[in-house]
Structure 1
């Protein structure tokens, strides 16, 4: 179980993301996004060592308010071979220095995400310890996925991030979120699995979208 510490964090996560997002091929905004944390959820690392968080960060610099999905991991020491995926370090008021990574490059996050899609790991509330997030929905039809232990090799393009997954499947992380009317959002046609949830929109609205899709290669 991940314990959520309500303490200081310097720099803030939105500060790290504001410098990192414009470097991504799927980013749609200008050079200086103004971000607000609109939602997301967490997963628990079975070993209790790695923080796993999926942040929905909304760029508010234009009336269209583009929402981005950013999977992050937080570690107490650098992840070997993942310097290219490091967003930066943060000083946590309880845990000390934390190394923040693009979670699509972290085998712990990828393994637990597959477990979530398959229904073996619950989505947890973003800001409350030991509390499931029941707004997160998922589906999967196929052979057992297992917890992949190999180093992920994600590919970023204008449509998001893709990772090779077990049984010849591909996991597509939808980085730019497209709200839908369905509640809960339905898996896309032809998908073997998906994850979906909602986040805070303008004027107290609630927006929803599919965050990740698992498809045949």
Structure 2
């Protein structure tokens, strides 16, 4: 179980993301974003080495407020061969220097995201150690997903991130979140699996969306 340290981060996660976000092809803004942390959840690394967080940030500078899903991993040393996926480094008040990566390129996050889709692990609260996040919902209709020895090779475009998986399935990560009225949000028709959750809107209402979809090819 990951222990959440309530301490200082320099720069903050939001500051780190704000500098990285405009480099992504799915970024909707026309200028530098003005971000606020809106929500998200964590997953546990079974080895206890890698921090895993799926963060929702909202760009308040874009018309209509745009919410983005940013999966991140936090490591105590660089991830070999993943320099292109580095979001940046931070100084953690307890753990020292941390390397933050776009989690779609990190095999630990992908393995745990698939475990979540299959129901083999549970989403954890973003800021409370040992507390499950009961708002996160999931489904899966396919056989167990093998990820042993798998190196993620995601592709970003204007629609988000596509990640081919062993066995002929594809994980689609919705980077720009589109709120839906259903509670809980339902997966697209024909999807082999999904993850959905919610975050607070500007008027205090809960916004909900599908975050990830598993497609069977």
Q: What TM-score do you get using the length of structure 2 for normalisation? A: 0.98
Q: Which runs of 5+ in 1 are unaligned?
A: none
Residues 33 and 62 in structure 2, CA contact (< 8 A), matched pair in contact too = no
Moved more, 148-157 or 18-27: 148-157
Unaligned runs of 5+ in 2: none
1:97 aligned residue: 97
The answer for the alignment partner of 1:190 in structure 2 is 190
- Matched positions, count: 217
Shift of residue 205, structure 1, vs aligned partner: 1.4
Q: Does the CA contact (< 8 Å) of 1:112 and 1:147 recur in 2? A: no
Pairing 1:1-217 to 2, within 5 Å after superposition: 1-217=1-217
CA distance in 2, matches of 1:148, 1:39: 30
- 1:45-82 CA deviation, whole Å, 9 max, x = no partner? 00000000000000001351100000000000000000
Q: When the two structures are superposed, what TM-score results if normalisation uses the length of structure 1?
A: 0.98
Q: Displacement, 1:198?
A: 0.1
Flag as ranges the 4+ runs of structure 1 deviating above 4 A.
none
Q: Deviations over 1:23-52 (max 9, x none)?
A: 000000122100000000000000000000
The Cα of 1:165 is off from its aligned counterpart by 1.6
| Partner Cα distance (1:120, 1:109) in 2 | 14
Structure 2 SS opposite 1:203? coil
Output the CA distance in 1 between the equivalents of 2:205 and 2:20. 27
CA RMSD of aligned residues (A): 0.9
